[in-house]
Amino acid sequence: MKIGIPKALLYYYYFPFWDVLFKELGIETVLSEDTSKVILDLGVKKAVPEICVPMKVYTGHIINLLDKNVDYIYIPRFVSLSKGTFMCPKFMGLPDMIKGLFDDIDDKILTNSIISKDDDISDFKIYKDFIVRLGVSKYDLKKALKRAREEWLSFRKLNKKGFDINELLDEDTPQKYDGDITIGLLGYVYNVYDRFMNMDLINTLRKMNVKIITFDMLDEKLIKKYQSRFKKEMFWEFTNKIMGAAYNFMEMDIIDGIIQISAFGCGSDSILEPFLSIDSENAKKPYMILRIDEQTGESHILTRIEAFIDLVRIKKQKLKRVKVENTSEGVI
């Protein structure tokens, strides 16, 4: 049996879990190709025009998997990963959206509702329907979930040590990178790590000698601590994570500036952005939003990044001179 997994959306957060889960059950996992202009164009043509570009990309990946002769395509219905908050409605309705876009696809979709108290989605109750659908035993499923959880926790442990997700997924020996300035990079994992959609932003910054810290590299407890400063949190799980990471970045001395990458038409980002824009100015942290959609060009992204990084470097050098001058005056 072959199960297709679209290389989009929360693939960048949960693929190590899904991959081990299915392989432990004796099922081959088949990935769609990396996002490309072909996949994006296929998704744009098929998807609802008004929907955000990550969902159009996801649709293109579904088309790509349909050409790979898989038995099922795994499309989980993410509902909640903590009490009182929910996923974006598009995630909750994702299996239904795909069914509505494609004829005769119902039998190919493997789905389940993911409702969890935290990011650990290994609870047996979430997957019990797989026993009948995949023809596996309860014992084997529990054993596979345990192994998948171990693999995912190991992946997250390395991620939180500063290794980026793409390298953990693609490279045998992931690397750490340094730089003369450090940027806090905000954004949902599929915006931050889809190299095609963001014009390979992370590697572009590294070529400019910039060190990157992303929200997924921060400990969940630290993110929660900064989330709790708001009297009322956002309704959406990953928006809260981005918010907590942002306010942490604003107080981190090693962070010289903040870049937020956002998809055009993202409703939750449109609510979060004004808070970050105002409060980053109050915190005296340079802040820039990069908005991407299916029309985004590389030259536009590169020009804005270069200008922002130049300004951040100038500010850092100026602060260093002021500090040296103040220290010298104190000695005298």
DSSP 7: S
Cβ(196)–Cβ(36) below 8 Å: yes
Cβ(7)–Cβ(31) below 8 Å: yes
Position 231 confidence tier, pLDDT thresholds 50, 70, 90: confident
CB atoms within 10 A of CB 305: 20
Within 13 Å, how many C-alpha atoms sit on residue 315's CB side?
15
Its pTM surpasses 0.95: no
CB atoms within 10 A of CB 223: 21
Segment holding 324, helix H or strand E:
helix 298-331
Cβ(284)–Cβ(184) below 8 Å: no
pLDDT tens track for 32-54: 999 999 999 999 999 998 899 99
The C-alpha atoms of residue 67 and residue 33 are separated, in whole angstroms, by 11
Q: Which residues pair with 263 in a beta bridge?
A: 292
Cβ(262)–Cβ(191) below 8 Å: yes
Q: Which residues pair with 213 in a beta bridge?
A: 184
pLDDT tens track for 163-184: 999 999 987 788 989 999 999 9
pLDDT value for 261: 95
pLDDT value for 329: 63
Domains of the chain: 2-159 (3.40.50), 165-331 (3.40.50.2300)
Q: Which residues pair with 292 in a beta bridge?
A: 263
Is pLDDT above 80 for 16? yes
Q: Which stretches within 25-52 are classed as H helix?
A: 37-46
Amino acid occupying residue 148: A
The C-alpha atoms of residue 328 and residue 331 are separated, in whole angstroms, by 5
The C-alpha atoms of residue 313 and residue 297 are separated, in whole angstroms, by 25
The residue behind tokens 């590299």 is: 217
- Gap between the terminal Cα atoms of the chain: 77
pLDDT value for 171: 77
Percentage of residues of the chain with pLDDT beyond 70: 98
pLDDT tens track for 271-315: 889 989 999 999 999 999 999 888 767 777 899 999 999 999 999
Is pLDDT above 70 for 332? no
The C-alpha atoms of residue 141 and residue 143 are separated, in whole angstroms, by 5
The C-alpha atoms of residue 189 and residue 270 are separated, in whole angstroms, by 17
